[in-house]
Amino acid sequence: MAQIFSPLRHAGEAGVLMTMGDGITYQIHPLLACFAGDYPEQVLTTATFTGECPICPIPHNQLGAYVHNAPTGLRELELVLQALDSFDDDPTGFLQACKGAGVKLIVDPFWKDLPYVHIYRSITPDILHQLYQGIVKHIISWVTKVYGGAEIDARCRRMPPNHNVHHFMKGISSLSCITGQEHDQICCILIGLVIDIPLPRGMSNVCLVRAVRVVLDFLYLAQYPVHTNETLETLEDALARFLQAKDIFIDLGIRESFNIPKLHFVQHYVMLIRLYSTTDNFDTAYTERLHIDFAKDAYDAMNHKDEFTQMANWLERKEKIFRHDQYLKWVQNGSPISTPRVEWEPPGLELGRFLHMSKHPTVRAVPIDRLIKDYGATYFHAALAHFIALANEPDLMRAQLEARLHSVCMPFVSVPVWHCIKFLCEDPVLRTTVTADSIHVWPSTIDTRGHSVPGRFDTALVNEGTGGDTGVEGESSTLYYMTN
């Protein structure tokens, strides 16, 4: 790391000339401002001890304490630098100096000689490892211990399926090596799993539900792409409410203390967001995939002897194959001298959806009587007549429309039925069409073994787009649902 950052020593002080995207050359001073990593990497970088906070000097046995709006001080960088510099002058007292500064025995950390670097202020929030793989992981474990794995798994299986949420048919208590994405999916159903389960010994579950809820509040507030003073106050309030409600786990005998470094670190989130902006700038989830591409796959491809040399050779060969493949594609395309310039447009916030249905229906002919009986479409005939009358005469008044309904003739007794419709949207970055959501519906049936297969009827809130002052957020909306 010292070798990698060595160019910053001179450039940070004297500055270097760099041409920006607008074509103007500036003299800039590149500095090491932030360090994004998981907890072991933070401890290794800051030379602090495992079990302590990497940026503040609070003792391990006080990590669970919280005082609202209390000033949070950083570790004294000058004291640490003086302890590190004492190695050459007083090797005997180096041990005591490092102990007094609260750091490990390190001689020359990579950030020691970098200009204007405060390593204890450079550690950034990490949504993946601190929240999803930290606090959320603990909460799920504690909730499972409180209610028992069998009850939690049974409730997971009873959760209605949803296009955007993973359906844990086998439950969550037996999962091992859970990824951050899986923890994200569990968070979508976590409050529903605990909302009405009675606690042992007749205790009220209000405090436990409140603790789970405020954890989820903090989790999603911390991931806001834009923050204001109001949202940061709300984030601080959510943390304070959780740290007040967390004692329910002590009352239930699940925990004895909350001296957990990741739980303590979230108290620094507001300060760090004010310093370095929103947490999506530093989330290690973006680069976590590189662990697989550059380390795990390379390690699995060798005989586990002299691993660093073999891994480097494997990655070098992969890069050569990739470049050769790009060259072949360039030749096949006629060896163009230059590619046409495409005007780049910044991604917008367009959240529009458009309906997509398959070309052929799931069932070609379903009798209308069966629609009413099995699909629950009680008012299908009247709604279809209403639609036909308005399609023929859009300007009908309400009284005229009611009169026309009796004269609508339908020369059919069955209709085609689609069991799935999709709502598509355009990805603002890749400019590709992706499925934003889908609605499924089918009645209960009997399988070949004579077992009953339950039906599925999703609930959908459909915005009619009339711009009225009713419904959700001042827009006229209609709730369409079908029950079996």
User: What's the CA angle centered on 207, arms 239 and 144, to 5 degrees?
Assistant: 90
User: What's the CA angle centered on 441, arms 437 and 447, to 5 degrees?
Assistant: 130
- pLDDT tens for the chain, 484 residues: list them: 889 999 999 999 999 999 988 889 999 999 999 999 999 999 999 999 999 999 999 999 988 887 555 445 889 999 998 888 888 777 778 888 888 888 888 888 999 889 999 999 999 999 999 999 999 999 999 999 998 999 999 999 988 887 788 889 889 998 888 888 899 999 999 999 998 888 877 788 888 999 999 999 999 999 998 999 999 999 999 999 988 888 899 988 899 889 999 999 999 999 999 999 999 988 888 888 888 888 888 999 888 888 999 999 999 999 999 999 999 998 998 888 766 666 666 656 666 788 899 999 999 999 989 988 888 888 888 889 999 998 888 888 888 888 888 888 888 889 999 999 998 988 766 678 888 888 888 898 888 888 888 888 887 776 666 555 544 454 444 444 443 3
Q: What's the alpha-carbon Rg for the chain, to the nearest Å?
A: 30
Give residue limits of the domains in the chain. Answer: 2-122, 127-286, 289-332, 354-480
Task: Provide DSSP, 81-125.
Answer: HHHHHHHHH-TTTHHHHHHHHT----S--TTTTSTT--HHHHB--
Longest dimension (CA), the chain: 103
Q: 331 CB contacts (<8 Å, ≥6 apart)? A: none
Please report the pLDDT score of residue 472 as a whole number: 47
Q: How far apart are CA 171 and CA 156, in angstroms?
A: 5
Residue at 419: amino acid letter? H
Please report the pLDDT score of residue 190 as a whole number: 93
User: What's the CA angle centered on 23, arms 18 and 24, to 5 degrees?
Assistant: 60
The answer to whether 101 touches 79, Cβ cutoff 8 Å, is yes
The pTM assigned to this predicted structure is 0.75
Q: How far apart are CA 239 and CA 65, in angstroms?
A: 12
Please report the pLDDT score of residue 480 as a whole number: 44
| 50 phi and psi angles, rounded to 5 deg | -60, 135
In what order do the strands lie in the sheet containing 420-426? 354-356, 420-426, 433-442, 456-457
Q: How far apart are CA 48 and CA 445, in angstroms?
A: 62
Minimal CA–CA distance to 160: which of 136, 194, 189, 185? Answer: 189
**Residue 265 tokens, joined:** 């670190």
- Hey, CA dihedral for 261, 266, 270, 276, is it positive or negative? positive
Minimal CA–CA distance to 290: which of 300, 298, 279? Answer: 298
Residue whose pair of structure tokens reads 């099995």 in the numeric block: 374
Please list the residues that pair with 354 across neighbouring strands.
424
Q: 374 CB contacts (<8 Å, ≥6 apart)? A: 443, 444, 455, 484
User: What's the CA angle centered on 112, arms 43 and 53, to 5 degrees?
Assistant: 25
Q: How far apart are CA 453 and CA 420, in angstroms?
A: 17
Please report the pLDDT score of residue 398 as a whole number: 87
Helix (H) or strand (E) holding 373: helix 368-373
Q: How many helices (H) and strands (E) does the chain have?
A: 20, 12
The answer to whether 152 touches 208, Cβ cutoff 8 Å, is no
